[in-house]
Chain A
Amino acid sequence: QKEVEQNSGPLSVPEGAIASLNCTYSDRGSQSFFWYRQYSGKSPELIMFIYSNGDKEDGRFTAQLNKASQYVSLLIRDSQPSDSATYLCAVYPGGYQKVTFGTGTKLQVIP
């Protein structure tokens, strides 16, 4: 059973701070990793994907991947109240296998 683990939160950060969201996965052979943002009652919206070890930056978002530790994270700089949502980590093992989602971390940005 391939597992994707996230702390359910809520993670509370003040406006303007850095929010750090973490995810671990069990399948060492996993190839690609996605971060989705999900507002309550809405569908998941892609934030970032990453497939190489290291950091990938896109605006205020940075994804970090460490395959040796089976760990992927998302940093949100200058957090805004509009960033308040549940962040889903999703892992793709490769080939024609399914993407597995974590349970999500609820982020609350306090004004």
Chain B
Amino acid sequence: EPEVTQTPSHQVTQMGQEVILRCVPISNHLYFYWYRQILGQKVEFLVSFYNNEISEKSEIFDDQFSVERPDGSNFTLKIRSTKLEDSAMYFCASSYRPSGGSTDTQYFGPGTRLTVL
């Protein structure tokens, strides 16, 4: 069964460093998403991406964040200068269409645990 994959599973970095989190969405999906979940808190939307551009972003997704689809398979989230409060689990998700309707939903990857020291 097709699945979303993410690498690395755990990333430890120093405050102020840049990190890139990688995702490979399901191959025929067209919409891609990043979410984060701070330990013990709810899943929070960061950004959605379609047709090589951002469709929507939350207030969390400030200038320190960027997303890219550098080739036909990868979808990346870059944090330019990490802060302690960026420590969280980051989930990538993909869907064939925008979530909703009878057949489509967002399928989540296993997540990358980011720890900022």
Contact = CB atoms under 8 A, between A and B. Distances in A.
B42 A101 contact: yes
B100 A92 contact: yes
B99 A43 contact: no
B74 to A, nearest CB: 18
A100 B99 contact: no
Contact of B102 (A45, A51, A95): A51
A4 B19 CA distance: 31
Provide the main secondary structure of the chain A interface: loop
A94 interface: yes
A36 B111 CA distance: 15
Interface residues of B, number: 26
Interface string A68-106: 000000000000000000001010101111111111100
A4 B102 CA distance: 21
Contact of A103 (B41, B45, B58): B41
B55 interface: yes
Given A96-B55, A99-B106, A43 B42 contact: no
A32 interface: yes
Q: Which of B55, B108, B110 has the most CB of A within 10 A?
A: B108
A44 B43 contact: yes
B42 A34 contact: no
B91 interface: yes
B107 A88 contact: no
A51 B103 CA distance: 10
B109 interface: yes
B101 interface: yes
Interface of B: 33, 35, 41-45, 48, 50, 55-56, 58, 89, 91, 98-102, 105-111
Q: Which 7 A-B pairs have the closest CB atoms?
A: A32-B100, A101-B43, A103-B42, A98-B45, A43-B108, A92-B100, A43-B111
Given A44-B43, A99-B106, 18 more contacts: A31-B100, A32-B99, A32-B100, A32-B105, A34-B99, A42-B110, A42-B111, A43-B110, A46-B107, A46-B108, A51-B101, A90-B43, A92-B98, A95-B98, A96-B48, A96-B50, A96-B56, A99-B45
